[in-house]
C-alpha cells in the first residue's frame, strides 16, 4: 500500500551507514563481486561518493527487457523478443508482459537471474493481426498495460488474485479489456492507483486524459469495456503521459500557450476549480520550452526533468531533475505555477526521474558534455539528507547506484527500498535492481 508522508528511517540509517562503511572500505569489492568504486556525480558538491549497493541481475534472456514498473515486491516489464514477418506487420518485434515477485526470490516467479519469470500476456498472431503488449503499470494485485491489435490500441487489465480465472494474470487467462475496440480508436499510456485507471485517448481527434473507476463497473464511468469512460481534459492540444497518486492526476500538455506544461487535477475537487471533471479548470504546475516526457507523482512530491540552460561551453541543452511538494503550495518549492520549483541536479544530463517517499531516482549522464560515449547510470538522492551527501539540493553530492559503461538512457523505478532499472551491461537490455 502506498502511504502518504512515508518516511524510511530504516533506509536512511542504512544509507548513512553505507556512506560511513564506504569511506572505510572504498576501493575493494562488495560481497556480490561488484566493483566498489569511488565516483562522484559532478552534479555538485565536493569529494566523492562511495557506493556499495550491489547490482542484482533480474533478467538474463537475450530479449529486450524494458519499461519496468514496481509496486511492493511486484515487478512487471515489457519483454520484446524475436521479430516476425507478416503481410501487415512486417518486422515488428513481438512484445510480452512479464512479471516477477521479489518475495519469491530463489523460487519460481522470483526476481533473481536464475528464477523462472512469469509471462502475463504474450504477443499473439490472430487473424493476420499481431497483438503487442507494452507500457505496464501495477498497483497491489492489478496490472494494466497497452495492447495493440492491428490498428486498435486498448488499455488492458488483469488481477493476480484472480489467477486461473477470467480476469486473472496467468498467460492463458482471459484478460479484461478496459477500453473499446470500436471504432479503432487509440488508448495508450495507462497508470493505476487504487480503483482509478488513467490513460491518454484520441477519441476526440486529439489526445485527452481519460479515466475509469473500477468501483463503478457496469455503470457510467466504470472500467468494463462497454462502460462510457470519463473524460478529464478537453483542450484541443495534446494531453499525454498521465500519472496518478491517491486523488491527484498529473499529465503533460504539449501546447499550452506555445509551451509544454505539467497540469494536475484533484478528484476531491470535482465540480470546482482544480477538479478533474471535464468542465473544471485544471491546475497549472509548471511550463517550459522543454519537453517533459513522463512526470511522476508519489506522496506529496511531483518530479520531472526540465532544461533551464545550456551545458557550460556548449549550445546543448542541460537536462536536470526538478521537484515540487504539494504541501508547500503557495510557497517556494510548492507545486503551483507561481511557486519556485526545486532543482535537484546540476552539471551533466539527468532525465527519467521516479520518486517514492523521500527518495528520487533518475538516469544521469554526468560527463556528457565532455564525452557523449561516457557512461550513463542510475543515481539517487534522499530529501532527508538535504545539505549533505546524498541530499536532493542541486549542489548536494548524489549517490550512484548502477555501474555500467554504455551511454544509453536508463529507466529506473522505485518502490520502498527496491530500485529497478534497464541495463545494457551484457549487450542486450536487461533489468537490474538494488535495495537501499
Of residues 275 and 357, the one with the C-beta less far from Ca ion: 275
For the bound state, the minimum distance from the C-beta of residue 209 to Ca ion, rounded and expressed in Å, comes to 8
Is there binding between residue 428 and Ca ion (CB under 5 A)? yes
Of residues 345 and 363, the one with the C-beta less far from Ca ion: 345
Out of 173, 176, 201, 320, the only residue in the binding site for Ca ion (CB under 5 A) is 320
| Nearest of 115, 170, 181 to residue 143 by alpha carbon | 170
Percentage helix, strand, coil for the chain under 3-state DSSP, each rounded to 5: 10, 40, 50
Residues touching Ca ion, count (CB under 5 A): 18
Is there binding between residue 254 and Ca ion (CB under 5 A)? no
For the bound state, the minimum distance from the C-beta of residue 45 to Ca ion, rounded and expressed in Å, comes to 14
Whole-Å CA distances, 373 to 39, 66, 336:
17, 21, 38
Of residues 324 and 344, the one with the C-beta less far from Ca ion: 344
Is there binding between residue 65 and Ca ion (CB under 5 A)? yes
For the bound state, the minimum distance from the C-beta of residue 202 to Ca ion, rounded and expressed in Å, comes to 9
For the bound state, the minimum distance from the C-beta of residue 82 to Ca ion, rounded and expressed in Å, comes to 12
Using CB atoms within 10 Å of the CB of residue 217, give its burial: 0 to 12 exposed, 13 to 18 middle, 19+ buried: middle
For the bound state, the minimum distance from the C-beta of residue 153 to Ca ion, rounded and expressed in Å, comes to 6
Of residues 140 and 424, the one with the C-beta less far from Ca ion: 424
DSSP conformation letters of 143-171: EEEEEEETTEEEEEEEEGGGTTSTT--ST
Is there binding between residue 80 and Ca ion (CB under 5 A)? no
Out of 118, 287, 430, 436, the only residue in the binding site for Ca ion (CB under 5 A) is 430
Is there binding between residue 396 and Ca ion (CB under 5 A)? no
Is there binding between residue 417 and Ca ion (CB under 5 A)? no
For the bound state, the minimum distance from the C-beta of residue 429 to Ca ion, rounded and expressed in Å, comes to 5
What CA–CA distance (Å, rounded) separates 45 from 271? 47
Is there binding between residue 41 and Ca ion (CB under 5 A)? no
Positions in 327-386 near Ca ion (CB under 5 A) = 345, 350
**What is the sign, positive or negative, of the torsion defined by CA atoms of 51, 53, 54, 57?**
negative
What CA–CA distance (Å, rounded) separates 403 from 363? 12
DSSP-derived letter for residue 50 is B
DSSP conformation letters of 165-205: STT--STTSPPEE-S--SS---EEEEEEETTEEEEEE-TTS
Question: From residue 151 to residue 180, what is the string marking binding to Ca ion with x (rule CB under 5 A)?
Answer: -x-x------------------------x-
Phi, psi angles (nearest 5°) of residue 164: 90, -5
| Residues at the site binding Ca ion, with contacts judged by CB under 5 A | 59, 61, 63, 65, 152, 154, 179, 185, 206, 208, 235, 239, 318, 320, 345, 350, 428, 430
Amino acid at each position: 500500500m502506498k502511504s502518504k508522508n512515508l518516511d524510511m528511517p530504516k533506509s536512511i540509517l542504512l544509507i548513512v551507514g553505507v556512506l560511513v562503511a564506504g569511506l572505510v572500505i572504498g576501493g575493494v569489492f562488495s560481497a556480490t563481486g561488484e566493483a566498489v568504486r569511488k565516483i562522484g556525480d559532478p552534479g555538485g558538491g565536493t569529494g566523492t561518493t562511495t557506493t556499495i549497493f550491489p547490482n542484482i541481475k533480474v533478467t538474463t534472456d537475450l530479449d529486450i527487457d524494458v519499461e519496468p514498473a514496481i509496486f511492493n515486491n511486484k515487478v512487471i516489464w515489457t519483454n520484446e523478443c524475436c521479430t516476425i514477418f507478416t503481410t501487415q506487420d512486417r518486422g515488428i518485434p513481438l512484445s510480452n508482459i512479464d512479471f516477477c515477485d521479489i518475495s519469491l526470490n530463489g523460487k519460481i516467479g522470483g526476481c533473481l537471474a536464475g528464477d523462472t519469470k512469469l509471462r502475463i500476456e504474450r504477443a499473439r498472431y490472430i487473424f493476420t493481426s499481431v497483438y503487442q503488449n507494452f507500457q505496464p503499470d501495477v498497483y497491489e494485485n492489478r496490472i494494466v498495460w497497452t495492447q495493440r491489435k492491428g490498428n486498435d490500441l486498448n488499455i488492458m487489465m488483469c488481477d493476480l488474485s484472480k489467477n486461473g480465472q477470467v480476469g486473472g494474470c496467468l498467460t492463458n487467462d482471459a484478460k479484461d479489456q478496459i477500453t473499446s475496440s470500436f471504432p479503432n480508436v487509440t488508448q495508450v499510456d495507462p497508470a493505476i492507483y487504487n480503483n482509478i485507471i488513467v490513460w491518454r485517448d484520441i477519441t476526440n481527434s486529439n489526445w485527452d486524459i481519460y479515466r475509469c473507476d473500477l468501483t463503478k463497473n457496469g455503470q457510467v464511468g466504470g472500467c468494463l469495456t462497454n462502460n462510457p469512460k470519463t473524460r478529464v481534459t478537453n483542450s484541443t492540444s495534446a494531453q499525454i503521459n498521465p500519472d496518478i497518486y491517491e486523488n491527484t492526476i498529473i499529465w503533460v500538455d504539449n501546447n499550452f500557450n506555445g509551451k509544454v506544461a505539467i497540469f494536475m487535477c484533484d478528484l476531491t475537487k470535482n465540480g470546482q476549480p482544480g477538479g478533474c471533471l471535464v468542465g473544471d479548470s485544471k491546475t497549472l504546475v509548471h511550463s517550459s520550452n522543454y519537453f517533459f516526457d513522463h512526470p511522476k507523482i508519489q506522496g506529496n512530491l511531483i518530479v520531472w526533468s526540465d532544461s533551464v540552460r545550456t551545458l557550460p561551453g556548449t549550445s546543448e541543452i542541460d537536462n536536470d531533475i526538478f521537484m515540487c511538494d504539494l504541501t508547500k503550495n503557495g510557497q517556494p518549492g510548492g507545486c503551483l505555477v507561481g511557486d519556485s520549483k526545486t532543482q535537484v541536479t546540476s552539471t551533466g544530463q539527468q532525465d527519467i526521474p521516479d520518486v517514492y517517499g523521500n527518495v528520487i531516482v533518475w538516469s544521469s549522464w554526468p560527463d556528457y558534455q565532455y564525452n557523449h560515449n561516457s557512461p550513463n547510470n542510475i543515481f539517487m538522492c534522499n530529501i532527508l539528507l538535504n545539505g549533505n551527501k546524498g541530499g536532493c539540493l542541486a549542489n548536494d553530492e548524489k549517490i550512484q547506484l548502477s555501474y555500467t559503461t554504455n551511454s544509453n538512457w536508463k529507466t529506473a523505478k522505485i518502490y520502498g527500498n527496491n530500485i529497478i532499472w534497464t541495463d545494457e551491461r551484457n549487450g542486450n537490455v536487461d533489468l537490474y535492481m538494488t535495495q537501499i
